[in-house]
Amino acid sequence: MKTVEVGFHVDGDVWEPEQMKAVEDYGFDIMTTGEHILFFRPILDVITVLAYAAAVTTRIKLVPSTLILPLRHPTMMAKELISLDILSKGRLTASVGIGGDYPREFQACGVPVKERGVRANEGIEIMRKYWSGERFDYNGTIFQLEDVDMLPLPYQPGGPDLWVCGRSDPAMRRAARLGDGWQPYMYTAEQFHDSVGKVKDFAAEAGRELSGDFAFTSFMYVSMHEDVETARNNAIEQMTFRFNLPAEKIVDKYCAYGPDERIIENLESYVKAGANKLIVALIMPPEERMNYVERFATNILPELQKMKAG
């Protein structure tokens, strides 16, 4: 049985090269960063950040968490991801979702929000075809392509693994039918357990047997402090900023906070629920970020990486 892989989330702001390299050197397995095109707070472009990370690291896996696929034409997205896969020498995993929580960016990109599910389904199919190296036509509801192919081919034969992110049954079906992994967001351990079962059931309905490497990935905010109440208040402040809404009602569900042992126990509940990968987003002041990274890597990361994936 494999052990759990642990990822570190870089939250779309500026990280210096030596800081990104330190995340790798501390032993994290994965580095992720998020995406919004327009948003209520500053956030850098996900592909640019990951290309920057690829240039200053050599081992750590790179995951956009999560590409809002409907906002981008799949031909351009396939090209960018092929390029990133080659430049990182095969360290890329693509994680895609349909977005919709910030409609202004759909309007700005000229994409109807109501089309986002269809666009994502067709986009995944089209990218897979490009990555396979075949020459193909595609006649979809949204996209029509004639006699296309793409070179160079990805570093990873057939292209990078592709995780589907979301919370809904349609997203789980998309993961079960088209994905190499499932990544819910803002989920309790109980919800995660239920969704693992649903994804497996949806795959069986589609006549697909999921591989043993299929990724069940949990994303969790983490606020470290020896005093539980201080850790909780820090989390509320930061999550309120990140989501532009009061976080008092969600912090207990979607953030592991407190001293190290309490955080380990909380994250372990997701492993017991079926997670084989954990992505953590640390609540921390930017000027103290490396102290927080070091503490997590020293006190918590080794305990997580000992855990056997469900």
- pLDDT single digits (tens) 279-294: 999 999 989 999 999 9
- Residue 262 sits at φ, ψ, to 5 deg, of -65, -40
Q: Which of 101, 91, 138, 102 is nearest to 119 (CA)?
A: 138
Q: Which two tokens stand for residue 78?
A: 């396939």
Element (H, E) at 164: strand 162-165
Distances (CA, A) of 183 to 146, 167, 275: 32, 8, 10
Checking if the pLDDT of 243 tops 90, the result is no
Q: In this structure, is residue 198 part of a structural domain?
A: yes
The total number of structural domains in the chain stands at: 1
pLDDT at residue 292 in the model = 97
Confidence (pLDDT) at 110: 97
Across residues 1-27, what is the average pLDDT? Answer: 95
Rounded CA-CA distance 13/32 in Å is 12
- Beta-carbon contacts of 83 under 8 Å, excluding residues fewer than 6 positions away, are 51
Helix, strand, coil shares, percent, the chain, to 5: 45, 20, 35
pLDDT of residue 242: 87
Listed in sequence order, the residues at least 6 apart from 96 whose beta carbon sits closer than 8 Å to its beta carbon are 64, 66, 67, 68, 69, 120, 123, 124, 162, 163, 164, 165
Residue 234, pLDDT > 80, answer: yes
- According to the model, what pLDDT value does residue 244 have? 86
Within a domain: residue 310?
Answer: no
Mean pLDDT, residues 37-54: 95
161, pLDDT greater than 80:
yes
Domain containing residue 174: 5-305
Q: Which helix (H) or strand (E) holds 46?
A: helix 46-56
The whole-angstrom separation of Cα 248 and Cα 251 is 6
Torsion of CA 39, 60, 74, 52, to 10 degrees: 60
Residue 255: the pLDDT is: 97
- At residue 242, what are phi and psi to the nearest 5 degrees? -70, -35
Which tens digit of pLDDT belongs to each residue from 54-99? 999 999 999 999 999 999 999 999 999 999 999 999 999 999 999 9
- Residue 11 pLDDT: 87
Pairing state between β 5-10 and 61-64: unpaired
Q: What is the mean pLDDT of residues 34-60?
A: 96
The whole-number average pLDDT for the span 138-163 is 98
- Whether residue 310 is predicted with pLDDT greater than 80 in this model: the reply is no
What confidence tens digit (pLDDT) does each residue in 94-118 have? 999 999 989 999 999 999 999 999 9
Say which CATH number the domain at 92 has. Answer: 3.20.20.30
**Confidence at residue 287, expressed as pLDDT on a 0 to 100 scale:** 92
* pTM across the whole model: 0.96
Q: Is residue 286 part of a domain?
A: yes
> Which of 244, 248, 245 minimizes the C-alpha distance to 235?
248
Contact 95, 66 (CB under 8 A): yes
- For residue 182, the surrounding DSSP H or E stretch is strand 181-183
Q: Do residues 98 and 70 make contact, with C-beta atoms less than 8 angstroms apart?
A: yes
- Mean per-residue pLDDT, 110-132: 97
